[in-house]
């Protein structure tokens, strides 16, 4: 019976030590690996274009020059003469319309 009591005490102490270890370290000693926050960039192979037969020439723009003054005219302009003032004409008044009397045949 003594062996039975010693075995029970040893099992009790083993359970107690396991319980104390679980309570003492709440964090798992081997945490599960977390996925990366950002996906790695996708590297695309460079697109190779076939060489063209001739390159496009650059657009050539003519240089900008300041505007030239107009050439002097051979004949001078006549002086400005103002137009005479415009006076309105009086309205035309017609005599009133008088209807003709009806013609009565006897």
Q: Is residue 19 part of a domain?
A: yes
pTM, two decimals, is 0.25
Q: Report the C-alpha dihedral over residues 68, 72, 76, 77, rounded to 10 degrees.
A: -10
Which residue range(s) make up the domain with 16? 1-25
Taking only the tens place, the pLDDT of each residue in 46-71 is 888 776 667 677 788 888 888 888 77
Could you tell me what percent of the chain has a pLDDT over 70? 88
Q: Is residue 2 part of a domain?
A: yes
The DSSP secondary structure of 14-52, one letter per residue, reads HHHHHHHHHHH--S-SSPPPPPPSSPPPPPPPPPPPPPP
Question: What number of H helices and E strands is found in the chain?
Answer: 1, 0
Residue 35 clears pLDDT 70, i.e. is over it: yes
Q: Is residue 13 part of a domain?
A: yes
Per-residue pLDDT at 62: 82
Q: How far is CA 54 from CA 1, 25, 57, 59, in A?
A: 105, 74, 9, 15
Per-residue pLDDT at 3: 85
Predicted confidence band of residue 12 (pLDDT cuts 50, 70, 90): very high
| 99 vs 57, higher pLDDT | 99
Q: Phi, psi (5° rounding) for residue 73?
A: -75, 150
What's the structural domain count of the chain? 1
């Amino acid at each position: 019976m003594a062996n039975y009591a010693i075995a029970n005490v040893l099992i009790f102490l083993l359970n107690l030590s396991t319980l104390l270890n679980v309570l003492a370290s709440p964090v798992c000693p081997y945490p599960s690996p977390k996925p990366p926050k950002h996906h790695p960039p996708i590297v695309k192979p460079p697109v190779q274009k076939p060489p063209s037969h001739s390159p496009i020439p650059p657009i050539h723009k003519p240089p900008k020059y300041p505007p030239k003054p107009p050439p002097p005219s051979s004949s001078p302009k006549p002086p400005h003469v103002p137009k005479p003032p415009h006076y309105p004409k009086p309205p035309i008044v017609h005599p009133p319309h008088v209807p003709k009397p009806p013609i009565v045949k006897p």
